Structure 1
Amino acid sequence: MWNRFFFAAGLLGVLSACRSTALSLDSDKDPAAPYLVVLGTAQDGGLPQMACRQPCCEAARRDPARRRLVTSLLLVDPRPAPESGSDSGSSSGRRWIFDASPDLPLQVERARGHGGPALDAPGRPELFDGVFLTHAHVGHYAGLIQFGREVYGSAPVDLIGTPRMTEFLRTNGPWSLLFDGGHANAVTLTVDQPYELADDLRVTALKVPHRDEFSDTVGFLIEGPTRAALYLPDIDKWNRWERPLAEVLENVDLAFLDGTFHGPEDLPGRDMAEVPHPFIVETIEALADEPAPLLNRVYFTHLNHSNPAADPASKAAAAVRASGAHVLEEGARFAL
């Protein structure tokens, strides 16, 4: 169980909310409750990917409905900020973004109306109360440059990550210019220690195995008043993680998991050992003998442009649905 990993460190109590067996986009049940909005679901290169002439990308160029922005998640708390917390000056609630993708300008527009500052006011207020960063791969932090003087020229925004992640940004250009110019603050997280956003809203970084050239890699456990979500867009094979996947899923309601590739056929001619993401078919197989609600909690994200499951009409997408799992849809909203 989850408490096997966290009780010894005093991190997490037993989640008291009952886990639903059939999750839905039900945030309208309590419009004042914190919620998540999906801003993107594609791998770092998006869909269509640059210079790709395969049918998957050409179809997305012809039909905007088939396009996918790079993986990103928005957390919104529409309630007034706690008196003890920082006052961001937001006009309609606080909000945090998970990962700053190359598609950040489009995702800022998708986030419009979900908390945030009054942009018709003077100055350049921070667009988010914080940016949680999973790791230093291009699809997850390249959008940070948009906060700098050459583009938005933001008031200081909190960049929240592990010590290695924030140190990389602070000491390497062009990212260091964000700090030198007063456009960013570095906020460091301790892995496995909850970062409190409100009395009933917190985020915990979970270290995961992945290529770590410039930073380590984490997923995020996001706990709200009644539900918990796992944001884990990048990881190596599940057997390389010290935490059994099924035990992790037992204690969350929503799991946005690495679905980069449907199977080894997605990159013909490529040594898949170089990109050891868990295939969607492997994740489904690993959970096939577990109680059915576990797969129902899984939403695959971070889909490569070549992943056939990115097309809702494909056999691959139908197989995901038949398993009880889901392919995450952009714009989906989930209550916490």
Structure 2
Amino acid sequence: MNLRILIIPVLLLFFGCTQTNIKPEKQLEPIPNTDVYLKVLGIAQDGGMPHINNSQEYNDVANGDRKKELVVSLGLIDTEQKKKYLFDATPDMPEQLDMLHKELITNTIIDGVFLTHAHIGHYTGLMHFGREAMGADAIPVYAMPKMNTFLSTNGPWSQLVGIENIKIVPMLADSSITLSRKLKITPFLVPHRDEYSETVGYRIEGPEKTALFIPDINKWSKWTTSIIEEVKKVDYAFLDATFFSEGEIPRPMSEVPHPFIDETVALFKEEDAAIKSKVIFIHFNHSNPALDKQDVKRLALEKEGYRFARQGEIFGL
């Protein structure tokens, strides 16, 4: 018998067994039939996943047992105006900007960056616009008053401002910014650990649908606004889901207050599935069991209607 005939099936069997263990994700929906849409560019908390000082997570990603997750960011694409915008400048911004480039090829890398606050996962990507990397020319960066002052008076960010790698576009809470006849953005203040800047969420209004983006907030009870009523007013609500429940990390969780997923779910307990389905959890700490798509508690919440953001998902506006 020809040895080659025997060897080929054996090789095929061997190489077939070396594939990664990650289960293929459900195919994401195609880009909607609209001129304006959001794209999820990352879902992890500021430290990303795998997380610093966690060799097991790095091994799991290298072995294909887990998927790397980029830090939370949304892209906003306006195909009619040929414009694209970014919500938060994460440490993963270069890769996320490339994702946007593949969505819409234009002469500019980005037409504006909307910042939420001065925690490391939400603004430090601006460094890539500097002369050590891109050497960008006056990228519009939308910032609240304290955020503006922080960037303008503290190095190395002040260099970006001084040599006009970025151009600060001032924002005020509850004051809308009209990007086009189809797009309006409104920042609003939320309570958070505001060591260096205030913290905002965003209301993103398209021609047909509206989204909330609140990646960071201390606790819903600390906010004078009802999150339930705000969710009812929109079509999509991307909400802080840093931790699933108390005791998730080996430190006092009061040091890093966030609304636990189970606390948010308790608030919406009496709402129907149509309201719950507007909630899209995002900003997961590497410790959060909901990062596992097969987690029992996550699957149970999905049956109730809740959604969990996935990188690459699109939402028509």
Q: TM-score, normalized by length of structure 2?
A: 0.88
CA distance in 1, matches of 2:178, 2:105: 19
TM-superposed deviation, 1:117: 2.8
Q: Which amino acid aligns with 1:36?
A: L
Asked if 1:240 corresponds to 2:244, the answer is no
TM-superposed deviation, 1:25: 4.8
Asked if 1:250 corresponds to 2:232, the answer is yes
TM-superposed deviation, 1:200: 2.4
1:111 paired residue among 94, 100, 104: 100
Asked if 1:329 corresponds to 2:316, the answer is no
3-state secondary structure, aligned to 1:96: strand
Asked if 1:152 corresponds to 2:134, the answer is yes
CA distance in 2, matches of 1:58, 1:225: 45
CA distance in 1, matches of 2:207, 2:256: 37
1:131 paired residue among 113, 118, 140: 113
Q: Which amino acid aligns with 1:183?
A: N
Structure 1 pair 246–26 and aligned structure 2 pair: CA distance change class (3 A): farther
Aligned length: 290
TM-superposed deviation, 1:28: 2.4
Query: Which is worse superposed, 36-45 or 109-118?
Result: 109-118
Aligned Cα root-mean-square deviation (Å)? 1.6
CA distance in 1, matches of 2:29, 2:220: 28
Residue 101 (structure 1) aligns with: 90
Deviations 1:93-137 (A, max 9, x none): 10110000001111122212223534xxxxxxx421110000000
Residue 47 (structure 1) aligns with: 49
CA distance in 1, matches of 2:111, 2:156: 22
Asked if 1:228 corresponds to 2:230, the answer is no
Asked if 1:184 corresponds to 2:184, the answer is no
CA distance in 2, matches of 1:212, 1:75: 26
Q: Tell me if structure 2 keeps the 8 A contact 1:72–1:99.
A: yes
TM-superposed deviation, 1:155: 1.3
Asked if 1:315 corresponds to 2:296, the answer is yes
Q: Of the two, which has the highest radius of gyration?
A: 2
Residue 68 (structure 1) aligns with: 69
Residue 155 (structure 2) aligns with: 173
Deviations 1:43-73 (A, max 9, x none): 001000112134x554234228611000000
Q: Which portions of structure 1, spanning 4 or more consecutive aligned residues, are displaced by more than 3 angstroms?
A: 24-27
Q: Tell me if structure 1 keeps the 8 A contact 2:84–2:100.
A: no
Q: TM-score, normalized by length of structure 1?
A: 0.83
Residue 263 (structure 2) aligns with: 282
Name stretches of at least 5 consecutive residues in structure 1 with no aligned partner: 1-23, 81-92, 119-125
**Identity across the alignment (%):** 41
3-state secondary structure, aligned to 2:74: strand
CA distance in 2, matches of 1:166, 1:64: 41
Q: Which amino acid aligns with 1:44?
A: D
